[in-house]
Structures are given as C-alpha cells and as structure tokens.
Amino acid sequence: MANNLRARAEVTLARPEDGPELQALLQDWGMDLAGEPEEHAVIKVDGRIFAGGKITWLGENSFHLELLAVKREARGQGLGGMLLLELIKKPWAYCGSLLNGKFSTYRVTNIARGEAAGFYRQYGFRHCLFSDLAKAYQEQCDGCPEREACRPVPMIYIQEVS
C-alpha cells in the first residue's frame, strides 16, 4: 500500500477550501494552521490531504519550516519525507514569496519535537542552538506548557547549490 499511496501522491499548495481538512490533520498533532490554508503545502492522494507543512521566507537566503504533519494512518509510508524533501529542495516555491530560487547557499531552520529529530536528521538537518534561529523563533518554546513532553530540538539544514 505504501508504494501505491506514494505513487499517487501529489505535492501542491492547499486551496482555501482545503482549510477544514488541513486544520483537522494539524489539530490531531496539537498544531493549527499557521496563516491561511493556501500558505501551506500539502500532499493529496485522490483529492484527500495526507500531509501538510508550511515554510516561511525570513529574508535573504533563510527559511523556517514552521510545521510538518502526516495523517496518523499514513505514517511510515514515505509521505512525510516526500513533503519535507520538496519543501527543503525548493522552499521559495512554497513560501509565498516572489523568489526565483537563485541562491548559492540557503538555510532552513525548524524546531522539531524531540521524537521527530531523528526523522529530520535523515534529510540533512542537524542540531543547532535556539540562538541560531531567527529572532522570531528563538523564544517560541519558552513558557510552553508542553515543553517537557515535546522536548523541542532546534535544527538547521544548509543547502549549497552548485
């Protein structure tokens, strides 16, 4: 089933009418929409959303992956990796900016839940310090009541374009 599901998967930007389905997926993981639905990338299979994520341009050559989630019943089938690779290989295409992707180097940061840090490492992210994140994200986890259970890990991905 995994290959079949992945073979039919399409990465696209969400549409406004995808909002309720995307929001339900995110809320199942304790997250919510970060802005409008169409600011999120999604994986659809047969018109249904199986994964969603949002990446934000921070200026110059820097991006931040704000969230990434896969439907529980579709975990382990490669959809999360498929979406993550698409987002980090072409972040400018999914962040609502007018960038053309002509960078010699760019970076993508994120804050992974502790249990997800290994997943991100598989795709080239490495641990960094909260102070390495853009100012808007450095204190994001401070005072969060879920911090102890979440065990947030700041991470960075650096891509050198040849």
Give me the residue spans of the domains in the chain. Answer: 2-160
Contact 56, 63 (CB under 8 A): yes
Give pLDDT, residue 3: 55
Band the pLDDT of 1: cuts 50, 70, 90: very low
Give pLDDT, residue 114: 87
The pLDDT of residue 160 is above 80: yes
pLDDT tens-digit map of 58-70: 988 899 999 999 9
pLDDT tens-digit map of 98-136: 667 777 899 999 999 989 999 999 999 999 999 999 998
Contact partners, residue 161, CB within 8 Å, separation at least 6: 103, 104, 105, 106
Residue 42's φ and ψ, nearest 5 degrees, are: -135, 160
Strand partners, 67: 54
Contact partners, residue 62, CB within 8 Å, separation at least 6: 106, 107, 109, 134
The pLDDT of residue 82 is above 90: yes
Give pLDDT, residue 143: 86
CATH says 2-160 is which class? alpha beta
CA distance 12 to 77: 18
The pLDDT of residue 91 is above 50: yes
Contact partners, residue 142, CB within 8 Å, separation at least 6: none
The pLDDT of residue 44 is above 90: yes
Give pLDDT, residue 97: 67
Band the pLDDT of 144: cuts 50, 70, 90: confident
